[in-house]
Amino acid sequence: MTVQDINACPDYWNSTYSPLFNDTQARIREFCKDAYEDWGTSYVLIAGDADTIPARQLYYEYEGDVDSDLYWSNLDNSFNADHDNQWGEQGDSGFDPYSELFIGRVTCDTPQDVSNWLTKSFCYADATDPDYLENGGFFEGNNGWPGYEKGGTTIDFAAINGTDHWYGSDPGQWPGFLGFLYGFATWNAVHPTNAFNLTVRWAGSYPTNPGWQYAQNPAVPFRNAINNDSVTLITGIGHADPAMSLDVYDSDWKTLYHNTKPFFIIDLGCHCGDFDSGDDGVLDTMLFNSNQTLAFGCLYNTGYGWDGFQSTNSSDALQTKLFWDYFFDLANNSQSIDNWQLGKGLAWSKDIMAPTLNWTMSSAPGSWRGTIEDRLLFADPAQQLKAPGYVNNPPYISFLRWYPNIGLEVSATDPDGWLEHVYIQIDWGDGTITDWLGPYHSDELVTLKHEWATPGDYVVKARAKDVHDAMSDWTAIVVHIPDTSLTISIRGGLGITVKINNTGSDNATKVKCAIGLSGFILMGKSMTREMDIILPGKTITIRAFILGFGRTTVDVNVTSAEGATAQKSAQGLLLGIFVLGMK
């Protein structure tokens, strides 16, 4: 969908408070609402620069307006309930802190930009080599902040360690609603067979925390690791601006970095995601400089990045922590590696931070709101991160059985865990094959109905696949559809006589006959009879003695274990124990 298409569609116009809610940004938001509510859309990728698809600029006190795609992912309220020239400022009841859509942006200008970025995104998506997928990379420049006694403190908190407290000399109280948050090291401890390589850690402050290496200019050894394809998921903090990320200018990123396998990068620094500037500087360089080097995605700030002088009790450190916690805490957050999409991680982190929206630093008023507003994903929000060493095993059919009075019961098991989703396909053996049904949970018992045109033996088959299209072989059973046909006759006289005839060529077994009478009945108003078997061509006679007076209707319903059914009604006149004129 193009911006031109959206602007041309009157359904997305809003004349109320025009032009405040009728500019391009507002119309795109109406389109996003439409896509979410009517089409079931979950992911939105904004493909364009500020001059073609301008972001809504949201406001926070310290910095003023910052580019934010939050306006298009969080679809409740208006972000401007007071109808002034500031959007999303503190005190505006129109701010919506919770997401409906998972959103990302690529600031492309040309078809070549798109081609280069897509090639790198597909390179990571198609990768299976654990030597590539396992590589974390961690960087911390020399910020010279007094609260950190050792290099690596911010990134240890934000990415590597599991923790339930802030780090630093003056941390303050840990919010109870956060609980324990996972990091890379926590994941490795819980999932040792799928562990990340955490050896690449360079800091510009000395001494360093355990596991970190010191360099006066840590960007140089970190560059060597990148050029050796030794880092794939980067988390770092350093000096940044629209032309710089992790202490490195875009001109050096272009000329000095030669990785052959693209990486994903998080930088807590200031304004490295600012796409209002010229050619977008370091952001464009990361995504579009070539179809091989640098990044397939970035998590960058369009405004200031915020870390504390005295502790990690800061908005950008917590957002980064929550981002990684989403992926690594399977039990409480992502549930499955199948849910490791970048857009989900970003939305999760900001949703959890909603209670912090009005928190502030004395030296940086509104900074927590600023992080929620200006921390943007420059990548495909549906791009799925991968766990190293993870082998996707195909599901298999674990149960398949036909019950004549119930239907086909089938379940599929995914050996990768009960939280995985599976799809099931059925070949009914009569030329009818279903579409892929589901998704279902692993081991979920599914009941399906089918009717065959003629009796006989049918080879019914089932197979399963997972969300990655890993597919099982067919599992087959033989279903016998019997030629069992039942007829009923009803006669009066002394009581009533019901005859049940099997006119088919197969036995009728576990035959149940229910008889009910209407009217003034003193005895025998309803009764049930069961017969083990009625042979083909044979008749079973049931005699029922009753007592009553007046007109009556006799209803007879018969079923068998093979699924045969019959029903018949007749009317007559009751005179004591006699039934007259039955027809």
CATH of the domain at 372: 3.40.50.1460
Q: Are residues 309 and 414 in the same domain?
A: no
The angle that helices 367-374 and 315-328 make with each other, rounded to 10 degrees, is 50
The lowest-confidence range among 18-27, 207-216, 380-389 is 18-27
Q: Are residues 366 and 433 in the same domain?
A: no
Task: Specify if 129 maps to a domain.
Answer: yes
Q: Kindly report the pTM of this predicted structure.
A: 0.74
Task: Specify if 11 maps to a domain.
Answer: no
Q: 104 in helix, strand or coil?
A: strand
User: pLDDT tens across 431-468, in order?
Assistant: 999 999 999 999 999 999 999 999 999 999 999 999 87
CATH number of the domain within which 499 lies: 2.60.40.10
Task: Specify if 36 maps to a domain.
Answer: no
Distance CA 467, CA 51 (A): 38
Question: pLDDT band for position 20 (50/70/90)?
Answer: confident
Q: What are phi and psi of 201, to 5 degrees?
A: -140, 115
Q: Are residues 278 and 159 in the same domain?
A: yes
Q: Are residues 325 and 473 in the same domain?
A: no
Which pairing describes strands 213-214 and 201-203: parallel, antiparallel, or unpaired? parallel
Confidence (pLDDT) at 150 = 80
Distance CA 573, CA 286 (A): 92
The lowest-confidence range among 46-50, 122-126, 277-281, 387-391 is 277-281
Which residues are bridge partners to 397 per DSSP?
Answer: 412
Closest CA to 49 of 294, 342, 378: 378
Q: Are residues 345 and 440 in the same domain?
A: no
Residue where one domain finishes, among candidates 313, 346, 378: 378
Percent of the chain with pLDDT over 70: 97
Average predicted confidence (pLDDT) for the chain: 93
Q: Are residues 473 and 498 in the same domain?
A: no
Mean pLDDT of 489-493: 94
Q: Which two tokens stand for residue 548?
A: 């009553």
Question: pLDDT band for position 530 (50/70/90)?
Answer: very high
Q: Are residues 339 and 457 in the same domain?
A: no
Question: pLDDT band for position 278 (50/70/90)?
Answer: low
Q: Are residues 420 and 355 in the same domain?
A: no
Confidence (pLDDT) at 419 = 58
Task: Specify if 30 maps to a domain.
Answer: no
Domain span at residue 152 reads: 42-378
Task: Specify if 21 maps to a domain.
Answer: no
Task: Specify if 555 maps to a domain.
Answer: yes
Residue 566, pLDDT above cutoff 80: yes
Residue where one domain finishes, among candidates 481, 499, 526: 481
Mean pLDDT of 354-379: 94
- What are the residues whose beta carbons fall under 8 Å from the beta carbon of 122, sequence distance 6 or more? none
Produce one character per residue of 171-185: b if its CB has 16 or more CB atoms within 10 Å, e if not: beeeeeebeebbbbb
Place of tokens 């420049």: 141
Task: Specify if 19 maps to a domain.
Answer: no
How many C-beta atoms surround the C-beta of residue 530 within 10 A? Answer: 9
- What are the residues whose beta carbons fall under 8 Å from the beta carbon of 568, sequence distance 6 or more? 488, 489, 490, 555, 556
Q: Which two tokens stand for residue 312?
A: 């990690």
Q: Are residues 180 and 303 in the same domain?
A: yes
Distance CA 214, CA 204 (A): 6
Residue 535, pLDDT above cutoff 70: yes
Q: Are residues 474 and 493 in the same domain?
A: no
Which residues are bridge partners to 512 per DSSP?
Answer: 530, 559
Question: What distances in angstroms separate CA 515 from CA 510, 512, 544, 549, one per listed residue?
Answer: 16, 10, 9, 18
Distance CA 502, CA 308 (A): 86
State the total domains in the chain.
3
Question: What distances in angstroms separate CA 207 from CA 137, 142, 203, 215, 310, one per listed residue?
Answer: 19, 11, 9, 10, 17
Task: Specify if 456 maps to a domain.
Answer: yes
Residue 149, pLDDT above cutoff 80: no
Q: Are residues 283 and 229 in the same domain?
A: yes
Closest CA to 124 of 379, 420, 422: 379
Pinpoint the alpha helices (H) of 242-398: 250-256, 281-288, 315-328, 342-352, 367-374
Residue where one domain finishes, among candidates 378, 409, 438: 378
Q: Are residues 556 and 498 in the same domain?
A: yes
Confidence (pLDDT) at 144 = 64
Residue 483, pLDDT above cutoff 60: yes
Residue 170, pLDDT above cutoff 80: no
